[in-house]
């Protein structure tokens, strides 16, 4: 899976977000630190979304399957 990360230089260091994944954003003192923080933010967004979906579908009949989309 490839996502688009955006890094912006600010006086305190860098801020970053993922264009394709709302909620995945972070900051850091250096570009490398910001990259690492963004990877963690992405993992946390995916984990939170899975937990929300799990609780929303508890005791419900659902179908789960992989889905792929072509890059734009």
**pLDDT tens, position by position, 6-20:** 999 999 999 999 999
Domain count, the chain: 1
DSSP 11: T
Residue 64 within any structural domain of the chain: no
- For residue 29, is it within any domain? yes
pLDDT at 39: 97
In a domain, 61, yes or no: no
Is residue 63 domain-resident?
A: no
Residue 36 belongs to what domain range?
A: 5-55
Structural domain includes residue 21: yes
CB half-sphere exposure, 25, CA atoms < 13 A: 6
Pairing of strands 25-28, 13-18: antiparallel
The answer to whether 19 touches 6, Cβ cutoff 8 Å, is yes
30 lies in some domain: yes
**Residue 31 belongs to a domain:** yes
Q: Is the pLDDT of residue 28 over 90?
A: yes
SS3 call for 9? strand
- Let me know the angle formed at the C-alpha of 68 by 62 and 72, rounded to the nearest 5 degrees: 135
* Chain segment 30-69, per-residue pLDDT in tens: 999 999 999 999 999 999 999 999 888 888 898 989 888 8
What is residue 64's predicted lDDT score, i.e. its pLDDT? 86
pLDDT at position 57 is 87
């Amino acid at each position: 899976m490839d996502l688009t990360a955006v890094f912006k230089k600010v006086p305190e260091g860098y801020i970053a977000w993922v264009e394709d994944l709302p909620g995945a954003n972070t900051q850091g003192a250096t570009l490398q630190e910001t990259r690492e923080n963004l990877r963690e933010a992405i993992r946390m967004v995916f984990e939170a979304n899975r937990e929300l979906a799990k609780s929303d579908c508890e005791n419900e009949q659902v179908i789960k399957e992989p889905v792929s989309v072509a890059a734009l």
